[in-house]
Structure 1
Amino acid sequence: MTNAHFIVPVRDGERELLDRVADLATGFAAVAADYDERAELAVEHLDALHEAGADDAVLPESSGGAGLSYLGLGRLVRILARADPSTATIWTMHAGAGVALAEFTGESSGSFFADELRAGKRFANALSEPASGNRFLQPQHVAEPTAGGWLLSGAKRFVSGSEIADYLLVNALVAGEPAFFGVVPDETVSIVPIWDTLGLRATRSQLLAFDDTVLRAEYRGRAPRPGDFAVIPAGLPAISLGIADAALDALVEHARTREILGKPLAHQQWVQYEVADAQTRLAAAHALYEQALWQADHGIALFFDNLSRAKYLANKVAVDVAQLGVRVGGGSGYLKRSPIQRHLRDAQAGQLMAYSTEVIAGVIGRGVLGVPDEA
């Protein structure tokens, strides 16, 4: 009952990829808590996903890849997130950065970045700045001209998997306009030692400092535009949905096996009522997300709006299901060894990832009420 039931099938050939990822995810789930406890990157998970064909699949056909559909991407990330949300997050950011560089620099270095992604090189998304909030596509740092490009000094935060990245996707203001670059980390890029998160600890999403880092002209790309394969916006709802799936699984397992006054906890009426509400809302979130992915695959323009709604609902539902897991789990669920507490910590992260639930709520609310956006 905790599994979402999907009606729309994925494209021919994608089922095999998803089956391979599902097989890998079983092993990922078995060690996810250990990686979380150590706050360690599961590099072998990322290598296994590459060997399974995930990196080639997510690259659009126009860039030489297999051209995974939005529907296929969403299901892949959800499978990963249910098993190991840190791996799902790192892979989504890696794939998003790699695909973006291949597309943004299509007229110059696009084929190079596409080949590097297909070859197994690691990418990381380094767009968010400490003072920019959710406006990660509108950088505040100004890049100054230099021989062969521009110089960047400043910081980028929450760069998942940055310690193993061969390339970073970075943006900065050039002549007053946002510009996007591929950057090879060197001695001018350093990690600021302040990282210690509550959840998704195995992402190691670091704060990076740039000290006169050269943004090479040949690695400069255009800004995002309609028609680009939007990996990260499409993948973020699936991370929260996967966490919610896992939280509900843990809740159900506990309720079926924990006895109170001679009967399983699942026999208590309040638990049944709460689980009914949680499962129904989670199914609705899955349905809204699948609808948005289907719209994206069919070129329906409003899919971005519905992806935002799906992220908003998925973020909220993930937290609610995880909190219910703690209530049902009681003292046992509060113990560090319980998966329930990890799901609760992980669920909080989705709300903070841009765009945050507060920002999305403002956009949705203004639209419903007919309030114009502020300039």
Structure 2
Amino acid sequence: MTTAQFPGPVRDVEREILDRVTELAVDFSATAAEYDERAVIAVEHLDALHDADVDRAVLPAHVGGLGLSYLAFGRLVRVLAKADPSVATIWVMHAGAGVALAEFTKDSLGSFFAEEFLAGKRFANALSEPASGNRFLNPQQEAVPVDGGWSITGAKRFVSASEIADYLLVNARVEDVPTFFGVIPDDTVSVIPIWDTLGLRATRSQLLSFDHTLLRAEYRGRAPGPGDFAVIPAGLPAISLGVADAALDALIAHAQSRVILENPLSHQQWVQFEVADVQIRLAAAHALYDRCLWEADNGIPAFFANSARAKYLANKIAVDTAQLGVRIGGASGYLKQSPIQRHLRDAEAGQLMAYSTEVLAGVIGKEVLGVPEAE
């Protein structure tokens, strides 16, 4: 795999990063099933990404990084997700938290979080609350004023790789305003041992309990704003697209190798029709996503609305492609050792990540129909 796979307007330094990730992805893919089976975080793969300067690349230039473009970022995440979506998910959440803290605290804390991110410290997003649904940027938990800042008691859910995190990005309401903090996990932060998920098992996206955890005043950041690098909104569609790409490859390989009545399964017309449908829709999802990345790189506000559409379509086509893989794979595709069943489990997870497909459908449908948001 070479830079020839990445045509288009990316800088030389971005091509170098993409080449490194593409090479690393070969090993990631080879061990993805093992890590999924054991539900273990691939720490050495995360270390390899850091050593390949991927963290430095995604950090914006104004806070000390290389300033990866959205276009290059999207390609990077798709390569990772096709190889191992758990690694891709952990890295996107790590980058989302690290970049956010570096940007949110730039004027108050200087370069501290940026330097820690570049030094290889691990970051995790702890924003979603059990009672707040998809509205992870609008927490319901109230922070209580204490010496040195505020404290929070409650829970945050689906915190990917929280067990190895040096820092958490946490939000709470301060005087009824959503406020963001960097938190160093201590004995007031504990894992609630309920982890036994269906898909993306190697993310170990735990439920965390906070018991009067200090939100330090000096680690308080501003709210997200225009010009911030929107790692997670830009990254989530790519995770599902990578899963869909892997699922399509797996079903094609099976259809070409499985012989039925002296001919490969790929010769059956129903298989051809169904594969044509998902391949075309997958190509359309990639095209919509690339358009969103272009809008983001060019400062076009439509990015935020279209990123929701890109996530919705990517989530849907990932599930449809993976389900077709099970149908084409038949009984052998249903076996535990088949990659087909893992792609199906991983594809379902994308639909549940905020904003879920149901929430997105409501938002998009209201916009199309001109239905005003409720007061």
Normalising by structure 2, what TM-score? Answer: 0.98
Alpha-carbon offset, residue 11 of structure 1:
2.6
Counterpart contact for 1:171–1:180, Cα < 8 Å: yes
1:354 corresponds to which residue?
Answer: 354
1:286 corresponds to which residue?
Answer: 286
Alpha-carbon offset, residue 12 of structure 1:
3.0
Aligned letter for 1:284?
A: A
1:215 has 2:219 as partner: no
Large movers: runs of 4+ above 6 Å: none
| Between 150-159 and 363-372, the greater mean CA deviation after superposition | 363-372
Give the alignment of 1:319-338 within 5 angstroms. 319-338=319-338
Alpha-carbon offset, residue 8 of structure 1:
3.3
Give the alignment of 1:1-375 within 5 angstroms. 8-375=8-375
Supply the distance in 1 between the matched residues of 2:262 and 2:104 (Cα, whole angstroms). Answer: 62
Aligned letter for 1:333?
A: G
Aligned letter for 1:139?
A: P
Per-residue Cα deviation, 1:262-292 (whole angstroms, up to 9, x for no partner):
1100000000000000000000000000000
Supply the distance in 2 between the matched residues of 1:110 and 1:268 (Cα, whole angstroms). Answer: 62
The 3-state SS of whatever aligns with 2:367 is helix
Supply the distance in 2 between the matched residues of 1:218 and 1:368 (Cα, whole angstroms). Answer: 43
Aligned letter for 1:159?
A: V
Counterpart contact for 1:169–1:180, Cα < 8 Å: yes
Supply the distance in 2 between the matched residues of 1:12 and 1:6 (Cα, whole angstroms). Answer: 11
Per-residue Cα deviation, 1:135-194 (whole angstroms, up to 9, x for no partner):
101111111111110111000000001000000000001111111000000000000011
Aligned letter for 1:354?
A: A
Identity of aligned residues (%): 75
**C-alpha distance 110-204 of structure 1, shift in aligned 2 (>3 A):** farther
Aligned letter for 1:308?
A: A
Supply the distance in 1 between the matched residues of 2:111 and 2:233 (Cα, whole angstroms). Answer: 23
Aligned letter for 1:49?
A: L
Supply the distance in 2 between the matched residues of 1:87 and 1:6 (Cα, whole angstroms). Answer: 21
Alpha-carbon offset, residue 195 of structure 1:
1.2
Give the aligned length.
Answer: 371
Per-residue Cα deviation, 1:41-69 (whole angstroms, up to 9, x for no partner):
00000000000010000000010100000
Normalising by structure 1, what TM-score? Answer: 0.98
Unaligned stretches of 5+ residues in structure 1:
none
The 3-state SS of whatever aligns with 1:171 is strand
Supply the distance in 2 between the matched residues of 1:344 and 1:296 (Cα, whole angstroms). Answer: 30
Supply the distance in 2 between the matched residues of 1:252 and 1:322 (Cα, whole angstroms). Answer: 11
Supply the distance in 1 between the matched residues of 2:331 and 2:34 (Cα, whole angstroms). Answer: 21
CA RMSD of aligned residues (A): 0.9
| Between 8-17 and 167-176, the greater mean CA deviation after superposition | 8-17
Per-residue Cα deviation, 1:16-73 (whole angstroms, up to 9, x for no partner):
1000000000000000000000000000000000000100000000101000000111
Supply the distance in 2 between the matched residues of 1:332 and 1:99 (Cα, whole angstroms). Answer: 43
The 3-state SS of whatever aligns with 1:287 is helix
Aligned letter for 1:230?
A: A
The 3-state SS of whatever aligns with 2:12 is coil
Alpha-carbon offset, residue 206 of structure 1:
0.1
Counterpart contact for 1:168–1:182, Cα < 8 Å: yes
Alpha-carbon offset, residue 6 of structure 1:
6.9
Counterpart contact for 1:63–1:110, Cα < 8 Å: no
Supply the distance in 2 between the matched residues of 1:325 and 1:176 (Cα, whole angstroms). Answer: 48
Alpha-carbon offset, residue 10 of structure 1:
1.9
Aligned letter for 1:62?
A: H
The 3-state SS of whatever aligns with 1:341 is helix
The 3-state SS of whatever aligns with 1:35 is helix
Counterpart contact for 2:6–2:15, Cα < 8 Å: no
| Between 297-306 and 80-89, the greater mean CA deviation after superposition | 297-306
**C-alpha distance 248-95 of structure 1, shift in aligned 2 (>3 A):** same
Alpha-carbon offset, residue 110 of structure 1:
4.3
The 3-state SS of whatever aligns with 2:238 is helix
Counterpart contact for 1:93–1:160, Cα < 8 Å: yes
Counterpart contact for 2:14–2:68, Cα < 8 Å: yes
**C-alpha distance 7-47 of structure 1, shift in aligned 2 (>3 A):** closer
Per-residue Cα deviation, 1:270-324 (whole angstroms, up to 9, x for no partner):
0000000000000000000000001100111111111110000000000000000
The 3-state SS of whatever aligns with 1:108 is helix
